[in-house]
Amino acid sequence: MNYYSLNHKAPVVNFKEAAIRGQAPDKGLYFPERLPAIDKELIKNIEVTGEAEIAFRVIKPYVGGTIPDDALYQIVSETVNFPFPLQSITDRIAALELFHGPTLAFKDVGARFMSRCLGYFLKDEKKHVTVLVATSGDTGGAVASGFYGVEGIDVVILYPKNRVSPVQEKQLTALGKNITALEVNGNFDDCQRLVKQAFIDKDINAKRFLTSANSINVARWLPQQFYYFFAYKQWQDKQTAPVVTVPSGNFGNICAGLLAKSTGLPLGHFIAACNANDVVPSFLQTAHWEPKKAVATLSNAMDVGDPSNFVRIMQLFDQLLLQLKTTLSAESISDAATINTIKDVFDTTGYVLDPHGAVAFKAMENYLAEHQQSKGFILETAHPVKFPDAVQQATGKEVRVPEALQSLMQQPKHAIAMQPDFEMFKSYLLG
């Protein structure tokens, strides 16, 4: 399996090269040359197949022999060694809970897989790698956890000041060692812009070997397919393809689900549930792509005004908007509706949604109101404890901090304050 740049001005590379580089030299995202068909026997026998075996069989074609089977199986076993329960909320909506990993967010899967792949690829290399990552909330914590203590790799995380939750900030700033957090006085798009500029700066690249841990990296993006297969394994009505609603910011997560569907996983319609950052909903309505300055919302991990991964979604559908719209719709949900949804779901079912899950639930509820024969699941991407103010405002109850996080919350914050200025960022990297 080889990968080409979606800007079509860079050499084709294998999985190892794509994972180490992160982004192509022409600034494009890497995309697989072909989409492998999922083994029909895997789908037929999925209910009796273990999660590690499912993950191994899904990812093996994409790795293309750059990692031996025994090492790859070990990597995926360590990646998915926590639960992925599909919990019923109503008779028509379930939640795929993706917050049972070490940092209580869905990004644990991609970060754990990527860190182990890079560790394997670099174990015999003399080069020292710097992982640059911009985060709107959960990516940074997952990457920090996944790469913590990995020999030969430094991690630099840029996050927007006052736009991540207290738990998220602790996960970014309390580890130390090979993890450095930069607190940028701006929004996520500012952080992402600085990272992208660093990748094409000749001076920085002459001194540091850079790679990215955002979902632009194929080693972060591709393993996110795993839990869509785990959801289907638990889906009871195999005769009805489930509608899937994904809280969407940079669109890597939903892109992975659409990829799984494109290669043979029997999923139904997809809904991109967005907050006030409505670039994609607007595009699907108007066919006009217009990035906007990100605005702060309760569902902060989705505060993205220029989603990088949407170009991959368009490629999955051969750049044909009409074809895309047969599979994907999108809706923007306000903060007021988000709070009301958390409250209503808690009052009627006892289930506690986080703000991202609430955005997905409301979008799913609206879709099902017009499609009475459908049912499906949402992706509940983060634990409610990461958003205590919003959840307590909606439910009237304090969210208890899990024991695994209590010691972390007592650790001091270590972060370097920075303006959203590239020369300042460049000086830091060269310093």
Q: Which residues are catalytic?
A: 107
Q: Write b or e for each residue in 302-332: b if 16 or more Cβ atoms lie within 10 A of its Cβ, otherwise e.
A: bbbbbbbbbbbbbebbeeeeeebeebbbbbb
Asked if 260 and 229 count as a contact pair (C-beta separation under 8 A), the reply is: yes
**Cβ-based burial of 91 (10 A; exposed 0-12, middle 13-18, buried ≥19):** exposed
Tell how many helices (H) and how many strands (E) occur in the chain: 20, 14
Determine how β-strand 243-247 pairs with β-strand 13-14: unpaired
CB 95 within 8 A of CB 351: yes
Residues 6+ apart with CB under 8 A from 158: 132, 133, 134, 135, 182, 184, 191, 194, 195, 418, 425
Q: Which residues contact 285 (CB under 8 A, 6 or more apart)?
A: none
Beginning with the edge strand found earlier in the chain, give each strand of the sheet holding 416-418 in spatial order.
Answer: 209-212, 129-134, 153-160, 179-184, 416-418
Angle at 324 between CA 222 and CA 373, to 5 degrees: 95
Residues 161, 186 contacting (CB under 8 angstroms): yes
From 85, 92, 187, 69, select the one nearest 137 (Cα to Cα). 187
What does the DSSP 8-state code read for residue 49?
S
H/E stretch holding 116 reads helix 107-122
CA–CA gap between residue 131 and residue 147 (Å, rounded): 9
